[in-house]
Copies of this chain bind each other. A is one copy, B any other.
């Protein structure tokens, strides 16, 4: 019984040799299981891991742990809050990029930059590389 994993210890049960939790929730890190258990419930985590090929289960357990940590730190937005911040960062970096690209074009053409930016759309939405993520349709509550 001393060889039980963190999940089986938490649930006070025997840890079978083929335990679905054992490789990803070792006994020496009880907090790791406690966090996913708090957000998803132990049995949901077990079900999710069962449905994934064994060679991908470690990645899945790690991403579930990461998302559980995010949700504990930010109970309102969780992981989605990080996505929102990264999206804002992409936007501002793309604006900065478009700005310096305009600067280069102006230097080449010897046109004052303020005039060029007022005459041309320097941030064409169609060419934005953020378009591929379809943020607006995926995250409607940020609109």
Chain A residues with CB under 8 Å of chain B are 39-41, 43-44, 48, 51-52, 56, 58-60, 62-64, 66-67, 69, 71, 75-83, 85-87, 89-90, 92-94, 96-97, 100-101, 103-104, 107, 129-130, 133, 138-141
Contacts and interface: CB of A to CB of B under 8 A. Distances in A.
Contacts of A100: 97, 100-101, 104
- The DSSP consensus for interface residues of chain A is helix
- Say how many copies of this protein the assembly contains: 2
A21 B54 CA distance: 35
A40 B48 CA distance: 11
A101 B99 CA distance: 10
A78 B67 contact: yes
A60 B44 contact: no
Nearest to A59: B76
